[in-house]
Structure 1
Amino acid sequence: MFKVLIVEDEMLVRVGLTNSIAWSKYDMEVIADVSNGREALAIYMNEKPDLIVTDLKMPVMDGLELISTIRSKDVDTKILILSCIDDFEYARKAANLKVSGYILKLTMTMEEIEGTLEEIRKELVAHSYSFKPPVQQQLSLDLLKEKVLKDYLFYGVYSEDEMGTIMQQFEPPIHTGPIAVAILETYQYDRLHERFDDDRGKLIQFSILNILNEIMVNHGGGIAYHDQKNRYLMIFSFLSHHSAETNRSRLTAVFDNIQKAMHSYFNVPVFISVSATGEGFHSMRRFYQECTRMLNDRYFSHTAIITSVENRIIGEPKFKKLIANSCNKWALLGESYYKNLQETTFHALKQPLQDEGDWKQVFIHLMEWTRAYLAIPDDQAALMELSGTERILVSPTIYDSIQAWENYLEETAKLKHMIKSVTKEVAEAVKYIQMRYDQDITLKEISELVNLSPNYLSLLFKKNMGRNLIEYLTDYRIEKAKELLQKTNLKTYEIAENVGFSDSAYFSRIFKKVTGISPLEFRKIKVLGGTAKHEDI
Structure 2
Amino acid sequence: MRIIVIEDNELYKNELLQCLEQEESDIEIVGSASNGAEGLALTEKLIRDNLTPDVIFTDVRMPEMDGFEMIEALQRRGISCKIVVTSSCPEFLYAKRAMELGAVDFLVKPLKVYEVRNVLGRLRRELESEKKWKHILNLEYIFLNAMAGKIKDDQQIGDLIKEGYGIAPEERIGVLGIGMSSNYEKYKEQVLQMLKELEIFNQQQDFCAYTIEMYGRQSFVVLFYHMGNEHETYQYLEQTIVPMICNTVRGRVICTWAVSNGFGNMYEAVRELDHAAEWNLILKKGTLICKEKIQKIALYPYKYPVNLEKEAKEALLNKDAKRLKEIFFRYWDYCRELPCTPQEAKEGCIRIALVLIQMAAETGAVQAQRKGQTFLQRISRANGWTDVEEKVDTFFEYLTSKDEAENDMSLLVQKALENIREYYDQGITLEEIAEKLHVTEEYLSTQFRKETGRTFTETIRGYRIERIKELLTATNWKLTKIAELAGYTDPKYMSRVFKEETGMLPLEYRKKNG
The structure with more radius of gyration: 2
| Shared fold, TM over 0.5 | no
TM-score bracket for the superposition, by shorter chain length: 0.3 to 0.5
TM-score by length of 1: 0.34
